[in-house]
Amino acid sequence: MEVKISSSWKNVLSAEFEKEYFLQLVEFIKSEYKNYTIYPSGKEIFSAFEFCSFEEVKVVLLGQDPYHGAGQANGLCFSVSESVSVPPSLQNIFKEIKDDVGTDIPKNGNLERWAKQGVLLLNATLTVRANTAGSHQNKGWETFTDAVIRVISEQKNGIVFLLWGNYAQKKGNFIDISKHLVLKAAHPSPLARGGFFGNKHFSQTNQFLEKIGKTPIIW
């Protein structure tokens, strides 16, 4: 079926769009947008893929659900629109970046600037009902995003995967660690009681990228 996703990703994921689970997912999502308030907006569902082409992927950061509050989700995991206050998990990410590489904490939480540098900001589930966390889990999105991770692992070399929290780490089980760098840490949520801090993932990512001749990320 025809899916509005950037051509670079359509080339490597086209078989996925013809599978029965994805056709059922599309019908479910259409019904949800018709009958409920769903985040992000329909045009932003595949934003992670629009801002970061398959060819340009250098880093994959895995999230779980989009934010379910009004105006927050913009299709990039952990990211929020510029007019929205920075959520606690993202505040902790920014604190770790400052401690790790010295970058000042930005004034807003829009992470498009990372995506444009080759960071695929991928949620496991790409949509959610307003104010209902997890409402679109186990509908097919996870199968699709597993396929995304698998195709990156199989067809690319030297990718950094950032897996924060148990959910992301389980989702990364089929990454080929012989040719990719996998960095694991606690989730940045305050519920993790500070276990995220001190992981130095941002400097480790850039050291790895430079070692293999790629441009480091400006965090």
- How far apart CA 131 and CA 39 sit, in angstroms, is 9
Active site annotation includes 65: yes
Which structure tokens are listed for 183? 């960095």
Closest by Cα among 208, 186, 216, 206 to 89: 186
Burial label for 160, CB within 10 Å (0-12, 13-18, 19+), is buried
Q: In this structure, are residues 48 and 26 in contact, taking their beta carbons and an 8 Å threshold?
A: no
Q: In this structure, are residues 27 and 1 in contact, taking their beta carbons and an 8 Å threshold?
A: no
110-125 CB burial, b ≥16 within 10 A, e <16: bbbebbebbbbbbbbb
Find tokens 């509908």 and name the residue.
139
> Which residue in 65, 99, 100, 104 is the catalytic one?
65
**Contacts of 5 by beta carbon, 8 Å cutoff, 6+ apart:** 13, 46, 49, 50
- How far apart CA 55 and CA 152 sit, in angstroms, is 10
- Residue 59 neighbours by CB distance under 10 Å: 26
- Residues marked active site are found at 65
